Amino acid sequence: MENKRKSLRFGLMINSLTVECWQYETIKLLMDNGMKLSLVIQKSNNADTPSLISRLKKKSCRWFLFGLWNDFFFKARSKFPADITELTQDTPAIFCRPIIKNDVFHLEDIDIQEIRNQNLDFIIKLGFERIGGEVLNTAKYGVWSFSHGILPGFWEFMNRKYSTCVCLSCLKNETTEAVLREIQLSTILHSYRAHLEQLHFESSLLPLQMYKDIIYNETQMPAKESKIVREDNVPGNFNMIQYFWKSVWRRIMFHLDDMFCQEDWNVAYCECDIKDFVESDDRNTLDVKWFKKPKKNCYFADPFVITTKKDTYIFFEWYSYPKGKADLAVALKSEGFNVYHKLTDFSEHRSYPYVFEHEGVVYCMPEANKTNKLTLYRFDEERLAMEKDSILLEGFPIVDATLYHNEGKWYLFLVNQKKSHTHLEIFSSNDLRGGYVPHELNPVMIDCSKARPAGKIFDYNGMTIRPSQNSTEHYGQSVCLEIIERLTDKQFVTKDLGNIMPIENSDYNKGIHTVNSDGNIVVFDGKRFVFTLSGFKQQLKQKLYK
């Protein structure tokens, strides 16, 4: 990068001033964050050409059902029309009449020169279908395009792929691109409309994320290029019949599974080092001991362990299906981890009891997302009680907050309940009790396979490891281990190390979403699916009052 700037100049390639709702959000996000919309490149009214979908529908009645569904019945909120006149009223515009060669749009030389004169940093392509030629070289950082294709996520939905990848790419020519940013989202298999809305609105963040990388980290454009691949197959009539059937059947099964197949978690521990636990090929050989739950209508999860001069404590979530919420509990090594002491009795849900020691004091920082606060408590070992110390962060539903103290700075890794499986955020402070400020790159990660925290950050073979939840197929599928390679107020770089899978030969072999260690004890949880009457009543109640 030649000169670092606080703002970038960008252009828009659009077909008209009426765009889709998610595209409006993309433009507004950029402008709200200080970028200047410097040029609108609009297709001339005289250059209107039928879209690929329109051309295919006219070609054969094979796509009749798709046309009917797409034009009259399918109403995704992200595709609602939005007028950008207000956003573009002070922006110069050029109206282009592209030349079409082999289904690729090329701009005329006079238009190319006009674009060059604006000294743009990048161009966002939201129209013009396929483009090629010299226009791709008119902006400093190129022309950026989304990898949506005609029907984003449709074939992932149809083929039951559990995750869908969305990319922002820099176009190199009509056949190749370089991926700038990508996000991984769980495929919503019971509703394609909800899945499409998710893909569209989440992808609207990508240009802003790329902008932050350029400004704060002096990111260079990727040198690696790849062939442009789009799932541009328009579903035929038979495909649409399959789609209608799958949509109805999956929606029914989704609700039935919720009511008749509840998650049943339990806590386990083994006396070994975290290194042995991570490297073990067969964790069944590690003498794993599971807690004994007192009732069928409850479960234990989210274990944390800490050893003090007095005892070793395993903190965990104690969920009650009849109450529809969880409290916190603790088990002591001196009691063989066989007695479970409840620590809280709040009206709201508590979980993820992140426990740590600092300056001789044991603290607990549990999740309480319904309060919109993250509260720090002191743990009294004599009374087995928690006393409020301070509020670290507030204003939104905070989930699975994890502290990391590094080089005199405190980092909070967390997710927002509204996007709890995909959007990792970091806040930092020079003092344990605040005030915490958001990371410049928030959300620092959008990935259903490794965003949500899954326990304490720990050292392993000289590396700093962040455990995270993989919820690609279902909640708490496995734990992903990420190496933190770089962490500052403006940088966050990680690399995958591997995964910790559920204990295969146990009763709780369907999931794992928390792993923690404190020297010679490793604690974790496991999941199975069961039916309980109280769980059924709770799920039914939630659906009726949703």
Contact criterion met (CB below 8 Å) for 371 and 348 = yes
The torsion region of residue 404 among left (phi > 0), alpha (psi -120 to 50) and beta comes to beta
- Which H/E stretch holds residue 398? strand 398-406
- Taking the mean position of all CA atoms in its chain, how far away is CA 461? 28
Nearest one of 419, 416, 421 to 393, comparing CA atoms: 416
Q: Over its length of 546 residues, how does the chain's per-residue pLDDT go in tens digits?
A: 344 446 899 999 999 999 999 999 999 999 999 899 999 999 887 555 555 555 555 556 888 888 889 888 899 999 999 999 999 998 999 999 888 888 788 899 999 999 999 999 999 999 888 888 899 999 999 999 998 777 899 999 999 999 999 999 999 887 888 889 989 999 999 999 999 999 999 999 999 999 988 888 765 655 556 665 555 578 999 999 999 999 999 999 999 998 898 899 999 999 999 999 998 877 777 889 999 999 888 999 999 999 999 999 999 999 999 888 999 999 999 999 999 999 988 989 999 999 999 999 999 999 999 999 999 999 999 999 999 999 999 999 999 999 999 989 999 999 999 998 999 999 999 999 988 999 999 999 999 999 999 999 999 999 999 999 999 999 999 999 999 999 998 999 999 999 999 998 899 999 999 999 998 899 999 999 999 888 888 888 877 776
Nearest one of 357, 304, 354, 285 to 525, comparing CA atoms: 304
Enumerate the CATH 2.115.10.20 domain ranges in the chain, comma separated: 261-544
pTM over 0.85: yes
Nearest one of 121, 95, 118 to 108, comparing CA atoms: 95
Q: Strand, helix or coil at 403?
A: strand
Kind of pairing between the strands at 143-146 and 398-406:
unpaired
Alpha-carbon distance 403 to 456, whole Å? 7
Alpha-carbon distance 175 to 185, whole Å? 26
Enumerate the CATH 3.40.50.170 domain ranges in the chain, comma separated: 9-254
Q: Which CATH architecture has domain 9-254?
A: 3-Layer(aba) Sandwich (3.40)
Q: Given this model, what pLDDT does residue 1 score?
A: 36
Q: Given this model, what pLDDT does residue 245 score?
A: 96
Contact criterion met (CB below 8 Å) for 340 and 331 = yes
The torsion region of residue 541 among left (phi > 0), alpha (psi -120 to 50) and beta comes to alpha
Q: Which CATH architecture has domain 261-544?
A: 5 Propeller (2.115)
Beta bridge partner(s), residue 6 = none
